[in-house]
A and B are shown apart, each in its own frame.
Chain A
Amino acid sequence: MAGIRGGSDTHLEQERTLHDSIALALAIFPLFTVWLAGLGGAAAIYVAICYWKHPGSLVRRYGWRRHLAILFGVGEIGGFVFAIVVLLTRTAR
């Protein structure tokens, strides 16, 4: 049972949570609602980095989702900051 829970042996594992897919979803889905993009980007970066060492899928061995999630997250936060700066400078005039 320890092997099943701890994931020490892949032959005993019964389930896995795909944190890379969660991070990518957190990065992409908030884009549809523009105002949530900054929050989603931050959450995506948090999940991608916090669960970086957690194993992904047993059958999918490539990790581009994590990298893409971080890329999207950084872009979204950058866009969010840029939008706030633009709004502040316009209201200050």
Chain B
Amino acid sequence: MTANPYHRLPGGLRGFVRRNSAWQGEDHLLIVSGTRYHEQYQRVYYRDVLAITVQRTRRMTASWLWFVLVFYGFVFAITRRSFPLWGTLLLAAPAMAVGLQILFAFAFGCRLVVATAVGNVEVPGVMRTWDASRFLKNLAPLIADAQRWSVPPPVEEPPPVEEPQQ
């Protein structure tokens, strides 16, 4: 096992098959998308970031935990003939989970895009506003630090050229 040069950033989707996440590298942001069995990487260097935009939108996510809860609720519902109180409460849990998911999607859904000179790169793992704010909180100092020295020094006025005397 070697030391991991990346630190996980807030947000990320751990779906049943699909996976998205973002990682903070030393000098770049690594966006990982793909499935459980195949990963695709996009790198955005901090010095190239021009802007980061967060757009409020509806975003449904479905992590594997939601699937398990809904599946369990479905199995419980079709195998039981009578529902005791505890059973009803247990059955309410997946329904509440789905309800919360829909509420989060409508009230707190967002899309985060990193703008660079060559194009915009969406960070697919960031889907909630609280993830976006924590993401920016982590990344902003690194971007500021990387771009501190990228501003060229002010150009000095060249010395006046003396006209040759005739």
Contacts and interface: CB of A to CB of B under 8 A. Distances in A.
| Number of chain A interface residues as a range | 10 to 19
Most B CB within 10 A of own CB, among A22, A58, A60, A61: A58
A5 to B, nearest CB: 14
Interface string B31-57: 010101111110100000000000000
6 contacts: A17-B38, A25-B36, A58-B30, A58-B32, A59-B4, A63-B1
| Number of chain B interface residues as a range | 10 to 19
Nearest to A10: B5
A57 B41 CA distance: 10
Contacts, number: 44
A15 B38 contact: yes
B129 interface: no
Q: Is the interface of A mostly helix, strand, loop or mixed?
A: loop
A18 B37 contact: yes
B6 interface: yes
A21 B17 CA distance: 12
Given A22-B37, A25-B37, 14 more contacts: A11-B43, A15-B39, A15-B41, A17-B37, A17-B38, A18-B36, A18-B38, A58-B6, A58-B32, A58-B39, A59-B23, A59-B39, A61-B1, A63-B1
